[in-house]
Amino acid sequence: MWKPQRKYLDRKNSLEKDPVEVYCRVKPLDSGVGCIKVLDSKTVLVTTPDFNIRGIPTTNFKEIQYTFQHVFDEKCTQKEVFDSVAYPLIEALISGKNGLLFTYGVSGSGKTFTMNGAPDNGGILPRCFDVLFNSISHAQARKYVFKPDRMNGFDVQSNVDAMMEIQRDMLQAQRAPKTPRKIPSDVNLEDRVPDLGKITEVDDDCLYTVFVSHVEIYNNHIYDLLDDILEEGGRPKLPQSKILREDANHNMFVHGVNEVEVTSTEEAFEVYYKGQKRKRMAHTCLNAESSRSHSVFTLRLVQAPLNSSGDEVLQEKNIVCISQLSLVDLAGSERTNRTKNSGQRLREAGNINNSLLTLRTCFEILRENQMNGTSKVVPYRQSRLTHLFKNYFDGEGKVKMIVCVNPIADDYDETIHVLKFADMSKEIQVTRPIAMKLDLGLTPGRRRVNLNIRDENGNQALDSSPELGLVYSLGPEFPPLVLSDPNQADLIKNLMSFLEVRLGKRNVLQKELLLKHKNFRSRLVEIEKENVLAKQELASVKATLEVERRKSSLLESKLVNLESSCTKLEWKVQEKNNEISVLKKELDSVTAGLSQKVVEKEREKQRMKQRMLTEKQRANKEIQQKQKELTEEFKTQIRRKDEKLRLVKEIISNDSAILRERNNLTPSSSEGDLRTADLIKKFTPSMPQVSWALSADSPATSKQDGPLTRRMSRSVSNVAEIWLDHRPVTSATPLNTVLQPRMKKRKSVTKLTDAKDVANSKSSKYCLTTQEADSAGEVETRLYKGDIIPTTGGGAQVIFNDVETLRQVSPTKTTPLKRRSDEMTYETRSIVSYLQ
């Protein structure tokens, strides 16, 4: 396929460079003393004021002159500024070249007014809209023919696809709630005075479309002012910062920015004011509406040539020409001591000054590299502003700068820095931009011919010829050649001059014809080459097609075999389906029988449950009857034992009389005691028998004849007895009972560390107290008692003759009835022991 060649040389081979064009605009002086004077159309004079900012008189008086491309004084109009600065950029934009225009100056010096202007006195931006759409209005493409591909390029659609996009938009607009169309601005555009300028050198064989985008650089972050991101509740989200990326042609662009297609100046204003309302502005001491960010408004003009018939754009992406014009309104440089900023405003001012400082640094290094031939690295990446526009300084477009200054003496220091930067910037050389249009070799004027051969309804006329617009003329008709007078010598001279002009035009046409022949021949040679390659490709395709046909025939034979086998399988499947239907019927009958049996089993189960419930109720009644009988029996036993306890209490009440007579026993008292013992034995048959000692000396003495006498318990001590009470520390659990052994005189020890404790002549009785847990886990206390008998060697020996045992039982481990019985038995035992 024939590929078009570029009309111009590549940028790498081009050595032509142009300086950065710097313009100066002086703001009118409202009041006060001025320090700037316009000498002529290119020079300004800056004089030192008599007093500095602090009010101190200055001693170093000097005058400095600065020269610019053009100086606009206080009387110049917005129209003059636009015609001198921006109008050539619009011409370059239409011809396929890029451009950059930015305003620079101190805060309050008129940058935003120069860029935007007022409704009745438009600035650079609105006049760019007017001139651009006035020039391309007759050659604008249908909407949606060009679509952004989100990678800094554009896709081309046919007219049919574009119409479908337009219909979809109309349907969405009908479904959406209707709201009155209103330009989102506070400016009354009805009073706006449009610019009637127009560029005539427009290629009629191309279609044009304008896309606009509006971003701001705030705190070194890039934000899209046209981004409409809403939350689920309909509230706007916080703006998201965008990133810079590099496209396939190594051009920097803002990734993900919204590019809106506009078809008229009104639509462009609607988009522009939508972004302006979102731009960050603030009130400072120097300016009531100070820009807190750098505003970048970009116009992108997309143009593509028409096809040979001149009725539709060529559907090739690589022939689309994209040119852009960036209009930048820089935030003003300012000093903190003058603006009195703090907090967020102070941070914004710091970021603004840093970005402007980076711009100055990049310009200084560029100038140094160009003047000294060095190759220092330009720090474009230190700021989003310089990084975004680095391609312009590398030769991707024309660069222009308008320096706005305020002649008031208070701004002298800042104005000097601005003018120095401007004077340095004009020394920078930028490579001349290259137009990106392609020469496709198509016949010029094809669009006009296409319009001429169509009737009013847009249909092609039957008797029209495509060559109507391609007729070449050698000039006007011949002058009269009749000689009516022999003195008409001028007639021959006029004829000779006419023929010379005609021969000159003929030679020009012949040269053009030869050139077209050469181009046609070269195109024909290329087409022939492509034809040969196409034939070779066709032969290979035919060979491949033959192979594919053979494969297809084999596959067809296999398909026939598979179809026959599929038919057999279908018959088998049908037979199996019949068998399955028969088996299903049998299964249904078996399932019905099983369900009947299940129902019967369920009924039997219900009957058994009913019977079990009846038996259970009967057993519960019997158990309740037995519980009542046992309860009555237990109550009877409890009443009997309560009676026994009453009798025991009566016995205890007589204990005092028995104790008075225990030392002077008489036969009568002994008989009384025996009667008491018999009474206790009568009413306490379950009480264990108590052993009685018959000798007072030792358990080994023999029984005496005579009447039976009862001795008291060895726990009861005589007055002359002194007990040695040995209670080890391990048995420290207190007994806390009433029945304690009586030891009127005793010596308590916890350890027997000395033999004198036992061999003491004063101690005659010994008692050892121990505590341990029985098999049931209860505390058991034992008292081992004995007599201390002196030995012949001067020592002493202990002869044990009595053991008393006391168990402490927890009431929680037995039933109330059992515990009460045990308590009664224990009290009876204690009483008997006490009576001994």
Res 829: pLDDT: 54
Last residue in a domain, options 439, 474, 500? 439
Indicate whether 546 belongs to any domain: no
Q: Yes or no: say if 96 and 323 are a contact pair by the CB < 8 Å rule.
A: yes
Binding site, annotated residues for ATP: 105-112
Res 162: pLDDT: 86
Indicate whether 542 belongs to any domain: no
Last residue in a domain, options 439, 457, 483? 439
Res 342: pLDDT: 52
| CATH number of the domain bearing residue 270 | 3.40.850.10
- The residue behind tokens 């847009």 is 458
Q: Which tens digit of pLDDT belongs to each residue from 514-524?
A: 988 898 899 89
Predicted confidence (pLDDT) at residue 674 exceeds the cutoff of 50: no
Predicted confidence (pLDDT) at residue 715 exceeds the cutoff of 60: no
Predicted confidence (pLDDT) at residue 394 exceeds the cutoff of 50: yes
Q: Higher pLDDT residue, 832 or 607? A: 607
CA 675: distance to chain centroid?
104
The segment with the largest mean pLDDT, out of 164-173, 288-297, 575-584, 740-749, is 575-584
**What is the secondary structure of 337-349 as a DSSP string?**
HHHT--THHHHHH
Indicate whether 702 belongs to any domain: no
According to DSSP, the residues that pair with 230 across neighbouring strands are: 236
CA 418: distance to chain centroid?
43
- The residue behind tokens 């008393």 is 804
**What is the domain range of residue 803?**
712-835
Q: Which of 792, 469, 823 is nearest to 642 (CA)?
A: 823
Burial class of residue 365 (count of CB atoms within 10 Å of its CB; 0-12, 13-18, 19+): middle
Res 309: pLDDT: 75
Q: Which of 282, 295, 272, 278 is nearest to 216 (CA)?
A: 295
Predicted confidence (pLDDT) at residue 299 exceeds the cutoff of 90: yes
Q: Which tens digit of pLDDT belongs to each residue from 313-360?
A: 888 888 889 999 999 998 877 655 555 555 565 666 667 778 888 888
Indicate whether 227 belongs to any domain: yes
Res 303: pLDDT: 92
Q: Higher pLDDT residue, 597 or 193? A: 597
Provide the mean pLDDT of the chain: 77
Res 711: pLDDT: 39
Predicted confidence (pLDDT) at residue 141 exceeds the cutoff of 80: yes
- Measured on CA atoms in the order 160, 164, 169, 171, is the torsion positive or negative? positive
Q: Is the pTM higher than 0.85?
A: no
Predicted confidence (pLDDT) at residue 382 exceeds the cutoff of 60: yes
Taking residues 404-428, report their average pLDDT.
Answer: 88
Q: Which tens digit of pLDDT belongs to each residue from 815-831?
A: 555 555 555 555 555 54
Predicted confidence (pLDDT) at residue 409 exceeds the cutoff of 90: no
Predicted confidence (pLDDT) at residue 497 exceeds the cutoff of 60: yes
- The residue behind tokens 């109008």 is 87
Res 461: pLDDT: 44
Task: Give the three-class secondary structure for 125.
Answer: helix
Indicate whether 403 belongs to any domain: yes
Indicate whether 463 belongs to any domain: no
Number of domains comprising the chain: 2
Taking residues 26-44, report their average pLDDT.
Answer: 86
Q: Which tens digit of pLDDT belongs to each residue from 248-261?
A: 888 899 998 999 99
Binding site, annotated residues: 105-112
Indicate whether 533 belongs to any domain: no
| CATH number of the domain bearing residue 740 | 2.60.40.4330
The pLDDT-based confidence of 312 (bands split at 50, 70, 90) is: confident
In the chain, what percentage of residues exceed pLDDT 70?
A: 73
d(CA 460, CA 452): 9
The pLDDT-based confidence of 591 (bands split at 50, 70, 90) is: very high
In the chain, what percentage of residues exceed pLDDT 90?
A: 27
One-letter amino acid for residue 291 of the chain: S
Predicted confidence (pLDDT) at residue 8 exceeds the cutoff of 90: no
The pLDDT-based confidence of 567 (bands split at 50, 70, 90) is: very high
Predicted confidence (pLDDT) at residue 655 exceeds the cutoff of 70: no
Beta strand pairing status for 43-47 and 36-38? antiparallel
Least confident of 239-243, 463-467, 529-533, 786-790: 463-467
Indicate whether 508 belongs to any domain: no
Q: Which of 241, 239, 349 is nearest to 292 (CA)?
A: 349
One-letter amino acid for residue 517 of the chain: H
The pLDDT-based confidence of 171 (bands split at 50, 70, 90) is: confident
Last residue in a domain, options 383, 414, 439? 439
Res 471: pLDDT: 43
Least confident of 168-177, 426-435, 589-598: 168-177
- The residue behind tokens 């029985």 is 774
